[in-house]
Chains A and B, each alone.
Chain A
Amino acid sequence: MVKVYVPVDSTALSLGAERTAQAIVAEAQKRAIPIELVRNGSRGLFWLEPMVEVATAQGRVAFAPVQPKDVPGLFDADFLNALSDSAKAHPLYLGLTEELAWLKKQQRLTFARVGVIDPVSLDDYLAHDGYKGLKNALAMTGADIVKTVTDSGLRGRGGAAFPTGIKWNTVLNAPAEQKYVVCNADEGDSGTYSDRMVMEDDPFVLIEGMTIAGIAVGATQGYIYLRSEYPHALKTLNEAIRKANLAGYLGEDILGSGKTFHLEVRRAAGAYVCGEETSLLESLEGKRGLVRFKPPLPAIEGLFGKPTIVNNVISLATVPIILDKGAQFYADYGMGRSRGTLPIQLAGNLKQTGLVELAFGATLRALLYDYGGGSATGRPIRAVQVGGPLGAYLPESQFDTPLDYEAFTKIWAVLGHGGIVAFDDTVDMAKMARYAFEFCAVESCGKCTPCRIGSTRGVEVMDKIVAGKNHTKNVQVLRDLSDTMLNGSLCALGGMTPYPVLSAINHFPEDFGVSSKEAAA
C-alpha cells in the first residue's frame, strides 16, 4: 500500500490541507486504489502548502501546492507511482522532498523530525532517534546533565538568550522538596510560529526535553503554559502526553529508573505579557498575570514559591538532541557566543515564507532573498522587524547583519525568537511606531507606571507628530518618553516597546516628517 502524506499542521490546514486529504481519500476509494494516508507535520515550506508527499523506494516525493481540484489529475498522472514519467510530468511535481534546495541547505537539529513523522505516533518518534537523549540522561547524574546542557552553549530561544545550563544549575542547587519545570509556550510574537510547529508537528521532543530537565534538577512536575490561540497544539500535546504516560516515558518510575515526572498542559488566556516568565508564573498560580519583581529569581522562588525552570519551547525541544549527540556536537554549530542553530521564521511580505533552521551566522539578506525570494508583492523590501513586536525595525543598510545575538545587540536590535517580518515600500513607519505603543497599551499588565501610562502617552504623542503639531518638541517628548520606558519598566514589554519606536524614527525619519539631522539628535 502506498503511503501518502498530507500535513496536519495548522498553517497547512489554514490553506486547505484537510480538504486535500479528504479529496485524496475519496478519489482513491472511487478508483479502488488502496492507500495509507499519514497526517504528518509540515516541512515548513509554507508557501507550498498543502504539500502532499508520496513514499517511494528512493524517498518521499513532493507535489505542491495541492488543492482538491488537483487531485483527480494527480491520480490520472499516476502520482502514487511517484517515480513514473507521468508523475514527473505533472505540473505540481517537485521531486524528492529531501532534495528540495530550500530544505537541503538547512541544518535541522531541533526540527529534524518536523514534517517527517506522524506527530502523535510514539513509534514514529522512536524510529527517528526519539527518546535517545532521555535514555542517556537516565544513566547520568543531574549535575552531569546540567553540565552537558551548559557545555552545548544553548541559550534561551525565547528572546532573552540567557544560558539554559546556568538557569538549570541554579535550580539544581536550590534545596527544596518540590521543584517545577515550566515550559513557556505563550508564543505571542508576531512573525513567530516555531513553538507552534514543534508542539503540533513533533510534540514528543518537547515532552522529552522537559522530562530530561525534570530529571536533571529533581523536579517531578512540569507544566506547559500554552497560548489559547493554539487549539491544535493543545490537542496534539494532550494526545502525546497521554501516550507517553501509557508507554512509561512519563509519570512514576520512568523507564524503570525510579524517577518521576508528571506533565500537564495549562491554557493561557490571551495576555501577551504572560510570555514574560514571572507573569506566566502568576497566571499558572491562577492569578492576574502581573509581572513580579526580580529578585527572587524564578530559579530560586518560582511557581508556588518553589525553585522552577522556566524555558521556552525551542530551548527545551533542543535538549534531547544535545543529550543524544553530546554537547560538542551542538556547540560545533554557530558563531561567537551564539552556539547551535536557530529556527528562523520567515513571515509577512515574503514570497517564500516558512521555517528555516540554520546555524547562527547567516545574514538577514540571505534569509530574505535566498530563502524568502524577496517580497510577495514584488516591491522592494523596505523594513524588516526581527524578534517580534518588541524588536527593532531594520532598514536595507542593515540586511548584512549576521543572525547572532551579539551582532544584533551591536546594532541596537534583538534576535528574540527568530521571527522575521518583512514589509515592502508601502509601509508607513510612523504608523508602525504608533502601533507599537498601541499594542503595549492593550497588553500592559499595569503594574509599573512607565509601561501603563507611557504606552498611552506614546500613542498620543505619535498622533501629534503625524498631525504635525509642535513637531520638533513632540519628537523630543517621544524620545524622552522612550528613555523612561526603556530604563524604568519592570519587564521587557514596556522596556522594549521603544525598540520598534526609536528604530522606526531613526532609520525612517522621512515617515515622521523629521529631517535626518533631527533624527540623528
Chain B
Amino acid sequence: MMRFVKSGLGVAAAAVALSFAGGVSAQTKELVFGLQCDRTGPTANVGVNLCPGYHDYIALVNSKGGVEGFKIKVIEVDNEYKVPPAMEAHERFKKEGAVIEGVFGTPQTAALNKKLEEDKLLGTSPGFGTAGAADGKRFPYTFPIAASYWSQAGAALEFAKEKLGGSLKGKKIAYLYYDNPAGKEPLPILEDVQKAEGFELRTFAVPAPGLEMGAQVLDITGRFKPDFVIMHLFGKAPSVAIKELKGKGYPLSKVVSFVWGSAEADIIAAGGMGVAEGYSGIQFAGVGKDFQVLKDIAAMYKAAGKPVPKEMDSTVYYNRGVLIAAVHTEAVRNAIKAKGGAAPTSEDVKKGMESIKGFTLGGLVPPMEITPADHEGGGWCQVWTVKGGKLVRSKDWFQGYRSVIQKQLAADASKS
C-alpha cells in the first residue's frame, strides 16, 4: 500500500514538475536571486538603504534586457535579524530555484554556512560573517565578496600609520569595540601588527546596545591619550562614540571607523557633517553619486516618470547594495558565458563567482579577484573622510597588512 502511494505521488510530482518546467521554458528566460534583508530588526538602519540599492541595480539590468538574455527575479525576505526566519528564507529561495543567495547578518550567516554547502547554493555575506570564510576551501559556498573584519583591521592600521607619519613605533592606539564576537574578531590582527610595528595597543569594550560609553571614552581621552583611535561599532553606537569623543575634545581627524560606522546616517545622527569634520571611515564600496551606474539608475527612474528614490542619498549603504547586486549579476554572467548561453545552475554560478576579476563598475567595486581559494577577493578597502560638510575620498583602494591577514587565515585553517 505504502509503496503504491509513494509511487503514485512520485508520478504526480513528476507530472507537475514536467508541466511546470514546460511552462517556464515557453515564457521568457528567467533566473531567480534570493535576497535576505533586515528592514525591521536591530540593523534596519542598514537594510532600508542597502536593499533598495540591490533592487534598483537588478531593475536596471532587467531594463537593459537582462543578463545575457535572462531576466532576473529577486525574492526578498525580511529576516528581522533573527535566525529561524533566515533558515525559512533559505528554504524558500531553494524552492523557488534561486541560483544565488544574499545572506544578511552575522549569526544568520553562521547558521546557514552548513546548509549552503549541503544544498550547493552559494551565499554571499559582504561585511557579515566570520573572517575565516574568506578561505574557499573551508567554506566552499560562502562568499564574503568584501573586506572582512580582519582586512578592515589591517586597513585601519595602514591608514593610521600613514596619518602618523609612516611609522607606528612607540605610538599609542586605542581600539574601541562593540562587545560581541564581531567586535572581538579583529583583535588577533591588531595584536600581530602590534608585535611587528611596536606600538602600544589598548582595547575598550562597549557592552550592548552600545548607547552608553562615557566611561570608555573618558578612559581613552583622559587617561590613555592615544595617538589614534580605531572604532568598530554597530547600530546607533557609532554616532554616540562620535558625539562622546567630540565632547571630550578628542580630534576626530585621529579616528577611523570600520565599515558599519562610516555611513552618512551615523555622522548625521552624531550632529551633522559640520560637527564631524575629519572623521574617517573604511568602505568596501565606493561612496557618493559620481558613478555612471548610479546615473543610469536615476535616468531609469526619470524615464519611467517616477522620482529618484530617496534611499540613493544614503550613498554608503545604497552603493553597497548596488555592489552586492552587481557582483551577483557578474557571477551569473560569467556562468552563462561559460555554458554558452544556457541557464546556469547554482554550481555554475559558484564557478562564475570564482572567476570574477577586473570588474570595477567605474570604481564602485574594488579591483578584487575572487578565486576558489580566496572568496573575499583580496580584502580591498577605501577610506572616506568628512571634509567641508561631505564625505571625501582620502585613500583609494588598498590592502592593509595583507601578509598578516593571510598568515592569520592559514593559522585559522590549520586549527580546525
Q: A and B, one complex? A: no
Residues of chain A whose beta carbon lies under 8 Å from any beta carbon of chain B: none
